[in-house]
């Protein structure tokens, strides 16, 4: 049984997570300095996010074009943000597929710390298993 009961729940949780990141100056300056944008496509349920230094777009309006495109299930994203699954392992096992330079994505992991710190709280508030 999937962790997220609907697209709306997944969009709310992951949208809030990336809003937190966009309030972090280190995160936005790194995206800007690297001219990096990310499109996250999650499945079961579907959830699409586009993140750039200046904006977060969630849902059908998310631009297709991005420097890095990441695809995974919403359950896999949940496990990643909880810290129960590491990105290199997820990529190596095919749970996460990346289009673009994988090294650039892995470089971002340290600046994602504020989101890793907050995700368990966000998930618990939504009634998701942590």
Per-residue pLDDT tens listing for the chain (130 residues): 899 999 999 999 999 999 999 999 999 999 998 888 999 999 999 999 999 999 999 999 999 999 999 999 999 999 999 999 998 899 899 999 999 887 777 777 788 888 889 999 999 999 999 9
CATH number for the domain that contains residue 104: 3.30.1050.10
Q: Is residue 2 part of a domain?
A: no
d(C-alpha 127, C-alpha 111), whole Å? 26
Q: Which domain holds residue 81?
A: 7-122
Sheet holding 56-58, edge to edge: 56-58, 47-51, 38-43, 68-73, 97-99
Q: Residues of 67-79 as b/e, b for ≥16 C-beta within 10 angstroms? A: bbbbbbbbbbbbb
d(C-alpha 74, C-alpha 89), whole Å? 16
């Amino acid at each position: 049984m999937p962790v997220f009961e609907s697209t709306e729940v997944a969009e709310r949780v992951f949208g809030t997570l990336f809003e937190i990141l966009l309030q972090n100056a280190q995160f936005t300056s790194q995206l800007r300095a690297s001219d990096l944008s990310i499109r996250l496509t999650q499945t079961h349920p579907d959830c699409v996010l586009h993140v750039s230094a200046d904006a977060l777009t969630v849902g059908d309006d998310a631009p297709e074009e991005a420097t890095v495109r990441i695809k995974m299930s919403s359950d896999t994203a949940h496990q990643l943000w909880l810290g129960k699954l590491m990105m290199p392992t997820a990529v190596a096992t095919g749970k996460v597929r990346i289009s673009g330079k994988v090294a650039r994505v892995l470089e971002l992991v340290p600046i994602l710390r504020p989101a890793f710190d907050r995700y368990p709280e966000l998930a618990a508030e939504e009634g998701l298993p942590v």
